[in-house]
């Protein structure tokens, strides 16, 4: 009995309360700093969802409870103390309910479509429908001891917390992987020996060459200089993927062309194209920048293309339009036309679109040329204004810094398109979503395959394909949201969003609800907040909503009110006037 009294006295004492509160304060400060440096998910994994933080909260609750019981039998002078501690207990209990049964996820809906799919925070590994929850670690782990629920006897091996995931993959040829980092971007890019030998990022062009040839700046400029007036009118040229001319169209006389089962139609002709409000439109006559907007149809498939006379390397369809490349030359007398499309239908341009109206030479000032030596080595040549500045052979994972803009270029190796994927380890980036994680899976036959977060793959086990999904747990709501319209307003003279909102219906019917900043939609216990969006060419707008269900929200509100009331009562009770009046 003596020891029980001693334990009770310690659990209710200030000796436990002070260090517990100091630890909680230190953890909260560290979590706030991490969240401001990286993001909320990183802070949550590093601080708020760790075992030691939960222990701090547990001892805080125990201390509050036992401190309250230690005042038995309660008297009138204890009212402020009791109300304050009751508020803290209710607030803490509401937080526990949220942590255990709360839902926090994201929902993506394309314009003119609906969805009831929510991606939750917890990661899962699904193998032919069998689900295993995966802890999101922040360090490399060996997961071979974890048993997976599956009939193919697949097992996990290595867990990588952060990997670089290329934006594109190609099914043939060789892929040259490299990473470029600057104050403006930090991405992994791929050049393919057959399908994409050149990509433009910011101020530089990255190009794959079969053999190193000294670039002639004069010839390069001539190659990209706007063509002379074409005799016989303005011509649209259709070439195959090897560059051979298949057909041409004089679009001063006709704006459509049948190419077998493919129909091309010129919907807009610009003499001075410019980008305004994230759309392409006709500009003034102060500069010449001819462009065409084309719609191609093949059966029930449709593709849109924007081509520039002065920027022949730009395309909305880097892999070609149904197997063809398009280019044109415009007669100086050709009229400027808008054929059958309203301003609202104008093509929305990507964020990395080249600056319309820039001088041709601006695009070839900074060039990086790669020549593959073998899978682990590449020769890199840097040019500025057509003049060679540097040439260096890089080994895999070796980095060099360009003499312009201080871009860090890291060579990540060469892989055949048929090679198994091996991810490149990465690090969290400041104020950006966490990079994807990756897991190495093994079959009983010894076959290995990496799968990255938020992706699916077919794993061959026992000569049978096994469908594997790794990523956020998926939940289906009992109702669907239909995105009727997405609206984005920019700051004047820029493409920076001033505000954006989603107009949605429930199950595609009934009144239209608006969701925007500080104006969420509440429905059947769920709250939908406007989080983000994506606007890309040839695709409808995509809205991204945060979905939240918080069973402890009311308790946290009530606990906060009780806590504030208790502090007020406690403060009054400590005043001499109160003590004198009520003989406390």
**Nearest to 274, CA basis, from 238, 301, 310, 241:** 310
Q: Is the pLDDT of residue 221 over 70?
A: no
Bridge partners of 451, per DSSP, are: 439
Q: What is residue 57's predicted lDDT score, i.e. its pLDDT?
A: 92
Q: What is residue 483's predicted lDDT score, i.e. its pLDDT?
A: 96
In Å, how far are 395, 412, 415 from 423, measured between CA atoms? 17, 10, 12
Residues near 398 by Cβ (< 8 Å), separated by ≥ 6? 410, 411
Residue 377 pLDDT level (bands cut at 50, 70, 90) = very high
Q: Is the pLDDT of residue 216 over 70?
A: no
Q: What is residue 205's predicted lDDT score, i.e. its pLDDT?
A: 86
pLDDT tens column, 28-53: 999 999 999 988 889 999 999 899 99
Q: Going along 497-578, which residue ranges are E strands? A: 497-506, 509-516, 521-523, 526-534, 542-549
Q: Is the pLDDT of residue 284 over 80?
A: no
Q: Could you give the CA distance from residue 347 to residue 367 in angstroms, rounded to a whole number?
A: 29
Q: What is residue 276's predicted lDDT score, i.e. its pLDDT?
A: 56
Q: Is the pLDDT of residue 473 over 80?
A: yes
Which range (8-12, 19-23, 298-302, 398-402) has the least confidence? 298-302
Which range (334-348, 353-367, 379-393, 535-549) has the least confidence? 334-348
Q: Could you give the CA distance from residue 435 to residue 291 in angstroms, rounded to a whole number?
A: 37
Give the mean pLDDT of 105-122: 93
Q: Both ends of the chain: CA-CA distance in Å?
A: 34
Q: Is 384 exposed, middle or buried (0-12, 13-18, 19+ CB in 10 A)?
A: middle
Grouping H, G, I as helix, E, B as strand and the rest as coil, residue 252 is coil
**Nearest to 82, CA basis, from 95, 97, 70:** 70
Structure tokens given for 259:
């190419």
pLDDT tens column, 419-472: 777 788 888 988 788 899 999 999 888 888 899 998 888 887 777 788 999 999
Bridge partners of 490, per DSSP, are: 497
Q: Could you give the CA distance from residue 325 to residue 500 in angstroms, rounded to a whole number?
A: 36
Q: Is the pLDDT of residue 151 over 60?
A: yes
Q: Is the pLDDT of residue 546 over 70?
A: yes
In Å, how far are 48, 118, 137, 373, 518 from 105, measured between CA atoms? 17, 6, 19, 46, 18
| Cα-trace Rg, the chain | 31
Q: Is the pLDDT of residue 305 over 80?
A: yes
Q: Is the pLDDT of residue 232 over 80?
A: no
Helix (H) or strand (E) holding 162: strand 155-164
Structure tokens given for 50:
């760790």
CA angle 65, 67, 72 (to 5 degrees): 100
Instruction: Indicate the pairing of strand 245-250 with strand 235-240.
Output: antiparallel
How would DSSP label each residue in 450-474?
EEETTEEEEEEETTEEEEEEEEEEE
pLDDT tens column, 306-326: 888 877 767 777 778 888 888
Q: Does 273 or 345 have the greater pLDDT score?
A: 273
Q: Return the percent helix, strand and coil in the chain, to nearest 5.
A: 25, 45, 35
Q: Could you give the CA distance from residue 305 to residue 53 in angstroms, rounded to a whole number?
A: 54
What is the overall mean pLDDT for the chain? 83
Long-range contacts of 431-435 (CB under 8 A, 24+ apart): 431/37, 431/38, 431/39, 432/38, 432/39, 432/186, 433/39, 433/41, 434/38, 434/39, 434/41, 434/42, 434/162, 435/162, 435/163, 435/164, 435/165
Q: What is residue 332's predicted lDDT score, i.e. its pLDDT?
A: 52
Structure tokens given for 87:
């508020």
């Amino acid at each position: 009995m003596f020891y029980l009294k001693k334990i009770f006295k310690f659990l209710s004492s200030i000796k436990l309360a002070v260090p517990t509160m100091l630890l909680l304060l230190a953890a909260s400060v560290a979590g706030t700093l991490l969240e401001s440096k990286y993001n909320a998910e990183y802070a949550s994994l590093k601080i708020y969802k760790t075992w030691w933080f939960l222990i701090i909260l547990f001892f805080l609750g125990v201390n509050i409870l036992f401190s309250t019981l230690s005042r038995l039998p309660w008297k009138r002078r204890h009212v402020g103390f009791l109300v304050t501690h009751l508020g803290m207990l209710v607030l803490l209990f509401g937080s526990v309910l949220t942590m255990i049964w709360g839902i926090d996820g994201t929902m993506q809906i394309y314009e003119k479509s609906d969805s009831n799919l929510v991606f939750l925070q917890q990661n899962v590994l699904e193998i032919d429908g069998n689900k295993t929850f995966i802890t999101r670690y922040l360090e490399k782990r060996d997961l071979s001891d974890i048993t997976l629920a599956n009939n193919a006897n697949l097992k996990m091996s290595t867990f990588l917390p952060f990997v670089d995931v290329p934006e594109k993959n190609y099914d043939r040829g060789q892929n040259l992987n490299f990473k470029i980092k600057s104050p403006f971007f930090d991405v992994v890019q791929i050049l393919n020996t057959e399908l994409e030998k050149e990509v433009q990022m910011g101020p530089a062009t990255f190009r794959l060459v079969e053999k190193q040839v000294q670039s002639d700046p004069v010839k390069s400029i001539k190659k990209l200089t706007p063509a002379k007036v074409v005799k016989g009118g303005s011509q649209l040229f259709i070439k195959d993927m090897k560059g051979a001319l298949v057909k041409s169209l004089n679009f001063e006389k006709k704006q459509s062309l049948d190419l077998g089962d493919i129909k091309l139609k010129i919907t807009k002709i610009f003499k001075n194209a410019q980008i305004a409000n994230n759309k392409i439109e006709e500009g003034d006559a102060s500069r010449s920048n001819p462009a065409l907007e084309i719609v191609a149809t093949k059966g029930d498939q449709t593709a849109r293309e924007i081509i520039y006379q002065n920027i022949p390397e730009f395309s909305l369809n880097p892999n070609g339009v149904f197997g063809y490349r398009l280019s044109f030359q415009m007669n100086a007398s050709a009229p400027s036309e808008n054929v059958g499309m309203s301003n609202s239908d104008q093509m929305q341009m990507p964020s990395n679109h080249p600056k319309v109206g820039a001088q041709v030479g601006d695009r070839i000032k900074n060039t990086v040329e790669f020549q593959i030596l073998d899978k682990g080595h590449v020769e890199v040549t840097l040019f500025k204004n057509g003049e060679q500045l540097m040439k260096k052979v890089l080994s895999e994972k070796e980095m060099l810094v360009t003499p312009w803009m201080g871009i860090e270029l890291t060579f990540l190796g060469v892989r055949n398109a048929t090679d198994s994927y091996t991810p490149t380890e990465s690090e969290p980036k400041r104020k950006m979503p966490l990079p994807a994680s990756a897991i190495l899976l093994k079959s009983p036959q010894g076959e290995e395959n990496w799968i990255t977060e938020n992706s699916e793959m077919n794993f061959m086990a026992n000569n049978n394909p096994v469908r594997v999904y790794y990523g956020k747990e998926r939940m289906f709501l009992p109702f669907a949201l239909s995105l009727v319209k997405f609206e984005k307003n920019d700051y004047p003279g820029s493409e920076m969003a001033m505000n954006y909102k989603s107009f949605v219906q429930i199950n595609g019917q009934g009144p239209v609800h608006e969701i925007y900043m500080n104006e969420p939609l509440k429905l059947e216990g769920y709250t939908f907040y406007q989080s983000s969006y994506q606007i890309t060419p040839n695709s409808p707008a995509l809205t991204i909503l945060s979905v939240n269900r918080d069973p402890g929200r009311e308790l946290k509100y009530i606990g906060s009110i009780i806590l504030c009331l208790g502090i007020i009562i406690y403060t009054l009770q400590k005043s001499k006037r109160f003590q004198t009046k009520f003989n406390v």
